[in-house]
Structure 1
């Protein structure tokens, strides 16, 4: 397996926690979805498989995830994460690397590749979010609760929301960071972030103009969404493959209904057959083949 380096660095006024797995080889930045940290089940097995294939893997807690500091700035939350990743890779002086991400991590990786093409050697994407349901679902889950709480009760109400309470438990400094926010500025920013989840003409990925994908010129692998996956529609994967010229599109290496079954298990409260990202390790052989081609 090789060595594991756990550390943190301050980027744009916030502490970002990261790990580097492996001792040698090209660097792969592996980014999960949602506001899940790098310790979410399913991410590390994929990272280990990639390390076994001869690569180093950077895992990181993005702002508002895991043990890193909460931060609020930028055109959208994914744009903020792209800026953070740029700062992290610059601080590590790694040179161009592979960006690999699923779900929200795919969106973060695409935006990073658009904004900072000099950082990216190759791009690997799967579970790309899109469509009306997928986009509205993200806005309602990640933006609306905080937006409504701040409007009604000020920033003091944010620390009572479960999502932020959990991050405060992991990183107590986050409480003061939240309480120090200016209510009106926070509301304006959340409205901007919410707007980035609203599907618009000419935006296959809400918040990103289709024409910007012309800037992605590196070899790209896309694992398409499941046949009936409303969160990561098959159609969105196909459209992104058309936007990124020369990209390689493959069928998912996991069951077509893997995401739906995982969501059902998560909602049922019973012992899960697998967690949301447990099947991701099945993509390791395809990723390694692509990177060696």
Structure 2
């Protein structure tokens, strides 16, 4: 967990990297929070701040390219980041423990304070959605709305079975594995994946609660999206979230899997935009 003793003295932009994806060349930047560097991309100049929170091992472009390119920059200012140990938020390297969800939520809080990026709404995918729920429960005054998908608030034995199927990166599709192998290296990627699976086992041994007891503390309007064919997160998880998060709304993608924001990018962006801007009521 990163604690900022003196925010302004510890925050400094380290470098920028030009990206060739856009003709306007959006820039990633590195900011130092205490001893940890954080890589992020800030785009758009709209009045509505949105923080995109990636999944396990995810990076800015691997996890949110369709949102970077598709969300209206006149309506939104979008901040996409890489938590410690992800992408270019290294070194140091990071092995995950059962505390990493809360650690990432707290680091995100340090980041948005450092960048004066609040109030904001949070889009969280998979592990990012879990940390997003923790964030919304711990820091309700900073967050306006919460959108999560592919996320769960507890781990049970069936989940562990699913996680063990993807422990060995040789079992991943080449499309999913190739860019991460290039970024982390195959050996390091496997090491991090092992630590993630071990963290899930530890959480399960301790009773399985990731953030389930915190759900009652989420006050902001919440939208839960779910792919009905998600191989990692079953229907019982979104049903639990809808039941326990006050006033939560649900939208299902009948043929969607875990990456609905990538596979159904336009539909996803339209749904999220309407929710964030209170349209279509």
TM-score (normalised: structure 2): 0.71
Which residue of 214, 217, 227 maps to 1:215? 217
Which residue of 25, 28, 35 maps to 1:6? 28
Verify the 8 A CA contact 1:30 1:47 in the aligned structure 2: no
Q: 1 CA distance for matches of 2:225 and 2:196?
A: 32
Tell me what 1:22 maps to: 44
Tell me what 2:267 maps to: 282
Gaps (5+ residues) in structure 1? 146-161, 179-187, 263-274
Which structure 2 residues correspond to residues 74-153 of structure 1 after superposition, within 5 A?
A: 76-129=99-152, 132-138=157-163
Computed over aligned residues only, the root mean square deviation of the Cα atoms, in angstroms, reads 3.5
Q: 2 CA distance for matches of 1:62 and 1:72?
A: 12
Does 2:256 match 1:233? Answer: no
Q: 2 CA distance for matches of 1:214 and 1:104?
A: 19
Cα gap change, 1:135 to 1:93, in 2 (>3 Å)? farther
Q: Deviations over 1:6-49 (max 9, x none)?
A: 21112252111000011232111112322111111x62112332
TM-score (normalised: structure 1): 0.68
Q: Deviations over 1:129-186 (max 9, x none)?
A: 46543345447757x99xxxxxxxxxxxxxxxx99985556xxxx9xxx9xxxxxxxx
Equivalent residue pairs, number: 238
SS in 2 for 1:58: strand
Greater share of helix residues, 1 or 2?
1
Q: Deviations over 1:184-221 (max 9, x none)?
A: xxxx9996664225583xx6xx422x331111010111
Q: 2 CA distance for matches of 1:212 and 1:230?
A: 25
SS in 2 for 1:196: helix
Tell me what 2:70 maps to: 49
SS in 2 for 1:39: helix
Q: Deviations over 1:38-67 (max 9, x none)?
A: 111x62112332234610111111112111
Does 2:59 match 1:37? Answer: yes
Q: 1 CA distance for matches of 2:215 and 2:275?
A: 20
Q: 1 CA distance for matches of 2:136 and 2:99?
A: 15
SS in 2 for 1:133: helix
Verify the 8 A CA contact 1:131 1:233 in the aligned structure 2: no
Greater share of strand residues, 1 or 2?
2
Tell me what 1:267 maps to: none
Gaps (5+ residues) in structure 2? 1-21, 170-177
Tell me what 1:63 maps to: 84
